[in-house]
């Protein structure tokens, strides 16, 4: 499994990825130093409804305050697992997650509108019958980078290079195969073999999704990581009226019950930049 569940986190398990929603976010202060926060804290909730506190030390707080928002789902990696503090604790767990400037976080869901589909490279490609990777013609056979030589005829497979826009900007989301088919309700094979079908011209039924708003579950497209263009692969698409409700009696006394929509706001997909600035000795002294 790619993601570790919050309940599985231990002090020994320092290098893993978690996928979690930020249910609540608040600043911890003391009555004596009201303007001087101790930390920025979050309540994380994972797919099992298990909750855990996350904390951002005060010298990283400004950075993360602008990048993290309540209700959104993030993938975090390079965080620390640390023992829970005795004070300012909202859930009774042995450990908590410490998010630092070395932590990478990627927003995992995004509500946006498909404003266009770039067909420069076509709206479908010849996919390996077995793995759906791209194939090249190879004598009378086909060559798949993953499976090697393959004599099964390749099949037309959707690859929609979609431009998705929200209030803050636009990004390229690639929608492949079955995910695209669920949206269009017609398999690419069927459209590709139709008479007059052109790989570089969108059929009307595909054009229909332009202008529609969806909630996209996204993953960074690693194959494009070398370019500057931010690109994401769409893992799932939900209608915008989807609501996911989660309740956990454990901390009802501490916080109001959790009952949130999967994504309420529509901020742009953001990668949390890895800030490389050094902590000054003064900041270190202040933090202790
Ligand atoms: Zn293959």
Each residue's pLDDT tens digit, 201-249: 999 999 999 999 998 888 766 655 445 456 788 988 888 764 443 333 3
Q: Say what the ipTM of the complex is.
A: 0.98
- Determine the topology of domain 111-238 in CATH: OB fold (Dihydrolipoamide Acetyltransferase, E2P) (2.40.50)
For residue 114, the CA-to-ligand 1 centroid distance in Å is 29
Q: ∠ CA(71), CA(241), CA(52), 5° rounding?
A: 25
- Separation between Cα atoms, residue 20 and residue 128, nearest integer Å: 34
Which residue ranges make up each domain of the chain?
Answer: 6-103+243-287, 111-238
For residue 135, the CA-to-ligand 1 centroid distance in Å is 7
Average pLDDT over residues 9-35: 84
- Separation between Cα atoms, residue 186 and residue 126, nearest integer Å: 17
DSSP secondary structure of 173-202:
EEEEHHHHHHHHSS-HHHHHTSTT--TTS-
Beta carbons of 245 and 259 less than 8 angstroms apart: yes
Beta carbons of 230 and 128 less than 8 angstroms apart: no
For residue 3, the CA-to-ligand 1 centroid distance in Å is 26
pLDDT of residue 191: 96
For residue 149, the CA-to-ligand 1 centroid distance in Å is 9
> Can 6-103+243-287 and 111-238 be said to share one CATH topology?
yes
> What is the per-residue pLDDT across 49-66, written as a single tens digit (0 to 9) for each?
999 999 999 888 888 887
For residue 35, the CA-to-ligand 1 centroid distance in Å is 59
Asked if CATH classification 2.40.50.140 holds for the domain at 6-103+243-287, the reply, yes or no, is yes
């Amino acid at each position: 499994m790619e993601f570790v569940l919050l309940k599985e986190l231990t002090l020994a398990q320092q290098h893993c990825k978690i996928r979690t929603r930020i249910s609540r976010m608040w600043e911890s202060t003391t009555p004596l130093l009201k303007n001087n926060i101790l930390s920025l804290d979050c309540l994380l909730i994972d797919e099992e409804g298990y909750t855990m506190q996350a904390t951002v030390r005060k010298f990283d707080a400004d950075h993360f305050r602008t990048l993290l928002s309540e209700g959104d789902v993030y993938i975090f990696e390079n965080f620390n697992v640390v023992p829970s503090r005795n004070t300012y604790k909202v859930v009774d767990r042995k450990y908590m997650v410490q998010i630092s400037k070395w932590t990478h976080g990627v927003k995992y869901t995004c509500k946006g509108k498909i404003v266009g589909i770039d067909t420069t490279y076509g709206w479908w490609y010849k996919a390996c019958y077995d793995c759906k990777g791209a194939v090249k013609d190879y004598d009378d056979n086909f060559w798949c980078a993953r499976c090697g030589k393959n004599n099964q005829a390749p099949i037309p497979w959707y690859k929609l290079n979609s431009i998705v826009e929200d209030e803050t900007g636009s990004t390229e989301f690639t929608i492949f195969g079955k995910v695209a088919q669920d949206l269009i309700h017609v398999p690419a094979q069927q459209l590709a073999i139709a008479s007059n079908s052109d790989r570089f011209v969108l059929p009307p039924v595909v054009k229909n999704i332009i202008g529609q708003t969806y909630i996209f579950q996204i993953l960074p497209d690693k194959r494009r990581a070398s370019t500057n263009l931010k690109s994401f692969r769409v893992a799932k698409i939900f209608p915008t009226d989807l609501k996911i409700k989660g309740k956990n009696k454990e901390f009802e006394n501490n916080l109001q019950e959790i009952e949130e929509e999967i994504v309420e706001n529509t901020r742009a997909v953001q990668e949390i930049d890895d800030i490389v600035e050094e902590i000054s000795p003064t900041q270190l002294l202040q933090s202790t």
